[in-house]
Amino acid sequence: MDGHRYPLTYEVKAIPGGATAEEARVAGLGAADAVVLTSIVRADDGGVSHLTLSLDGATGKPLPDDELFKAWALLAHRLVESPTLGLGKKMLCALVDKTVRDAILRARAEEN
């Protein structure tokens, strides 16, 4: 992929002391406490590669798996309403969404 031209580049960096939402906006940036990013590379030969990275701004380390799980569950919830996703995939996302929601409700009930 030496000659491959990528239409996107990205950078995520920790800011010592943090930044306000206004400071980030003025600089043309987004701001967050943590980030999950999936980089997708489409090779010239038709192959596709996905790499998921995460960073917790408070620790400088990758997010713990429970945070990645939350992000995954919220993505499934969002995809249930997708106008472009096929029916089978939407049904799978709905099953994931319901299963996670039911498990959370059961766990909350057991705590009380």
Q: pLDDT digits over 52-108, tens only?
A: 999 999 999 999 999 999 999 999 999 999 999 999 999 999 999 999 999 999 989
CA angle, residues 43, 49, 51, in degrees to nearest 5: 140
Q: Residue 24's CB: how many other CB atoms inside 10 A?
A: 15
With beta carbons less than 8 A apart as the criterion, state whether 8 and 41 touch.
no
Would you say residue 2 has pLDDT above 80? no
pTM across the whole model: 0.77
Domain positions in the chain? 1-62, 64-112
The Cβ of residue 93 has, within 10 Å, a number of other Cβ atoms equal to: 19
Q: In a 10 Å sphere around its CB, with 0-12 CB exposed, 13-18 middle and 19+ buried, how is residue 35 labelled? A: middle
Q: Which residues pair with 35 in a beta bridge?
A: 55
- Rounded CA separation 8/37 (Å): 13
